[in-house]
Amino acid sequence: MKVCITHIFHNCFVLDAGTSSYVFDIPAKRFRTGRAFEALQKTIADQDVTVFFTHSHLDHFAPDYVEVCSTAKSLKAVISDDIEEMYPELSFRNALIVEPDEKYSYGDVEIETLMSNDLGVAFIFKTREGLKVYNGGDLACWDWETASPAERNFTRIFFEEAVNRIADRQVQIAFSNVDRRLQNLAGGPQFIDKVQPQVFVPTHAFGRTQWLEGIHEKLGLDKERCFIYRRPGDSMCFEVDISRKGQ
């Protein structure tokens, strides 16, 4: 199965797969450059779109997402419940509100949510074609040196348990945080080693993408399995075998 992934900004990407397009974590206007806005509208034009929002932090959620996605042929949204609580004035029409650690059917997509160790949820979903995708939002191994030993230990255990669960779901495409501020890259290498996705997309770059060049080597990943991007609108296509798990 051919899939194409387009980088928009930070944790926002478009996944074109089968007959549908899936968009993740469109950021609020203060985090969107004109180029990112144009890249998103162009990529989703005339497509049936489902947009996933993992949590309410503005680098991951655009309150004006309906307007931003106005070029889409159709639009549905899957939204973490903390967003509904944060923005009670929004109507969230054509939206599924989700809670952590639950399972849902929404249209032709089967969705499972995981509790994040930051805010909101992470998503595992399966398309009608059988493609299995993970998008982590801000779920990561946030092992900050300034944290207490107890906090760091909790973070490591939480992340390990989450990664084991994701690995059990045999996802083929994974979007997960790789943060250069942390020596452990927010758990990126650990995630790759355990989950073994066929395609991996490093996220959480805040637009500072130059350092991603060569990141596949630090992750222990073949270059052709890693989406390395520089600017909004950069895209790459992959052949994914939906009959088998990850690698």
| Cβ pair 32, 39 in contact under 8 A | no
Taken in order of first residue, the domains within the chain and their CATH numbers are: 2-239 (3.60.15.10)
pLDDT the model gives residue 246: 53
Q: CA 97: distance to chain centroid?
A: 17
Q: CA 71: distance to chain centroid?
A: 21
Helix, strand or coil for residue 52?
strand
pLDDT tens for each residue of the chain, 247 residues long = 999 999 999 999 999 998 899 999 999 999 999 999 999 999 999 999 999 999 999 999 999 999 999 999 999 999 999 999 999 999 998 999 999 999 999 999 999 999 999 999 999 999 999 999 999 999 999 999 999 999 999 999 999 999 999 999 999 999 999 999 999 999 999 999 999 999 999 999 999 999 999 999 999 999 999 999 999 999 999 999 998 765 5
| Cβ pair 10, 58 in contact under 8 A | no
Instruction: Select from 71, 120, 69, 76 the least CA-distant residue to 95.
Output: 76
pLDDT the model gives residue 18: 83
Helices (H) and strands (E) in the chain, counts: 6, 13
CA–CA separation, 146 and 34 (whole Å): 36
